[in-house]
C-alpha cells in the first residue's frame, strides 16, 4: 500500500519571498477549511480558516484561496520569514457531520536566510 507521510512534500524558499502551499481536499460536501502550522515537537497552531461560501480570505501576511470546482485549497504567505519554517496542514470539516476534521498530508516549509 501507499506509504503515506514517509515522503512529506517540501517547499524551500528564500527569506522575503512569497510562499504558496497547496492542498487538495477529498470531500465535495466539506464546507469549512482550516490551515494549521506545526513546529517540530509542538501541537498544530491555527493560522486561518475559510468557509465554502467564500473563495478568498486574508489575514496578517497570509491568504487562503478556495477553489471548490477542483477541490483545491492554497495558503499564501507573504514575505516569508525564518519563523515561518514548519509543517503546514490543511484540514476540512463536513457540515452536518461529527465536527471532526480530516487532515491533509502536510507540507514542510523551509525558509532559507
Partner 1 sequence: GAVVSQHPSWVICKSGTSVKIECRSLDFQATTMFWYRQFPKQSLMLMATSNEGSKATYEQGVEKDKFLINHASLTLSTLTVTSAHPEDSSFYICSAGGPSTDTQYFGPGTRLTVL
**Residue numbers at the binding site for partner 1 (CB under 8 A):** 4-6, 8, 32, 34, 36, 41-46, 49, 89, 91, 93, 98-106
Choice between 1 and 41, CB closer to partner 1: 41
Q: Residue 16 CB, nearest distance to partner 1 (Å)? A: 27
Across-strand partners of 20? 76
3-class secondary structure for 34-72?
EEEEECCCCCCEEEEEEECCCCEEECCCEEEEEECCCCE
CB 91 within 8 A of CB 84: no
In angstroms, what is the minimal distance from the CB of 59 to partner 1? 13
Our separate counts of H helices and E strands in the chain read 0, 10
| Cell numbers for 91 | 484540514
Give me the least distance between CB of 55 and partner 1, in Å please.
18
Q: Which is nearer to partner 1, 18 or 51 (CB)?
A: 51
Cβ proximity to partner 1, 100 vs 113, nearer residue:
100
Kindly state the smallest distance separating residue 26's Cβ from partner 1, in Å. Answer: 13
Amino acid at each position: 500500500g501507499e506509504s503515506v507521510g514517509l515522503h512529506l512534500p517540501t517547499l524551500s524558499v528564500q527569506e522575503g519571498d512569497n510562499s504558496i502551499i497547496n492542498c487538495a481536499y477529498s470531500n465535495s460536501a466539506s464546507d469549512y477549511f482550516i490551515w494549521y502550522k506545526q513546529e517540530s515537537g509542538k501541537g498544530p497552531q491555527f493560522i486561518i480558516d475559510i468557509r465554502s461560501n467564500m473563495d478568498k480570505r486574508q489575514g496578517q501576511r497570509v491568504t487562503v484561496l478556495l477553489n471548490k470546482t477542483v477541490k483545491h485549497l492554497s495558503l499564501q504567505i507573504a514575505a516569508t520569514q525564518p519563523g515561518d519554517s514548519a509543517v503546514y496542514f490543511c484540514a476540512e470539516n463536513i457540515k452536518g457531520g461529527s465536527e471532526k476534521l480530516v487532515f491533509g498530508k502536510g507540507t514542510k516549509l523551509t525558509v532559507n536566510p
